[in-house]
Amino acid sequence: MRRTILFRAGYLLTTMAVLTVLGGSASAQDPTLDQLKAKVEKQYEKIDDLFKHGPGTQIYPPDPRERVKRWQVDLSDAFAAAEVTIGQILKFHPPDEEYWLERRETMRLYSTPVSPPDTREVFGKTELDKTARLLDAPAAKYPDSAVAAKAKGEVRLRLVLAADGAVKYIFPMKPLKYGLTEAAMEAAKQIKFEPGIRKGQRASQFYTLSYEFKDGKGKPPYVPEHEFYF
């Protein structure tokens, strides 16, 4: 009887050990490319939600300055998390690797906490001696898919008007479906402008633009009254 009990106990322990190893192996399995892409989409949704519920929509903490600080930290953390996931995507060397490289650099820029101007290479308009001036900002094309769906609304973009004359680091703060976000981003890349000036030199500037889609066509972009929340 004692031998039977010991045998059964040993068998049970061995079985549990095998299951533990197998379970650990399965849980430690690296995510697939599709899983990572789905993950980064969820992280984009979190960033979008933070923009929708900015400090102006909150009541806690009571001090509005503390609300802004907390929101900025949460936003930086969300961008940083997306940067990590995109780094994992790039390990697969996807066919659209250039796109993901650009996305990672964009996440990295916006994940950087607020710091003194002299430590940065991109500036807000109040930190410049002369702000950037738009010369030509074409309207976005209205995608056929959006026309078919009778979709309309505003796409709000955060971007950088760089010192070298290029539009960089475009991120949709307020995206829309049916290809409208992509249409606005493509239009933003075509913007011609005079870079801002800081300390006598050309300087890169953060910029926010809204692209409105209405009556079956895209409207020329405009600077929204409020940049970060609506």
Where are the chain's structural domains?
1-30, 33-114, 123-218
Residue 108, SS3 per DSSP: helix
pTM of the model: 0.82
Q: Token pair of 79, please?
A: 């961008």
Q: What tens digit of pLDDT does each residue of 80-137 get?
A: 999 999 999 999 999 999 999 999 999 999 999 878 888 999 999 999 999 999 999 9
Is residue 196 within 8 Å of residue 125, measured between CB atoms? yes
For the chain, where are the E strands, in sequence order? Answer: 122-123, 133-136, 153-161, 167-174, 192-194, 196-198, 201-214, 217-218
Q: What are phi and psi of 208, to 5 degrees?
A: -125, 130
Q: What tens digit of pLDDT does each residue of 187-211 get?
A: 999 999 999 999 999 999 999 999 9
pLDDT at position 226: 73
Burial class for 203, CB neighbours closer than 10 Å (0-12, 13-18, 19+): buried
- What are residue 203's DSSP bridge partners? 196
Question: Residue 199: which of 133, 135, 121 has the closest Cα?
Answer: 121
What is the average pLDDT across 11-32? 54
Q: Token pair of 126, please?
A: 């109040």
**Mean pLDDT, the chain, integer:** 88
- Percent of the residues in the chain that have a pLDDT greater than 90, as a whole number: 71
Strands 122-123 and 201-214: parallel
Q: Is the pLDDT of residue 55 over 70?
A: yes
2.40.40.20, 3.30.2420.10, 3.10.580.10, 3.30.70.20: which CATH number matches 123-218? Answer: 3.30.2420.10
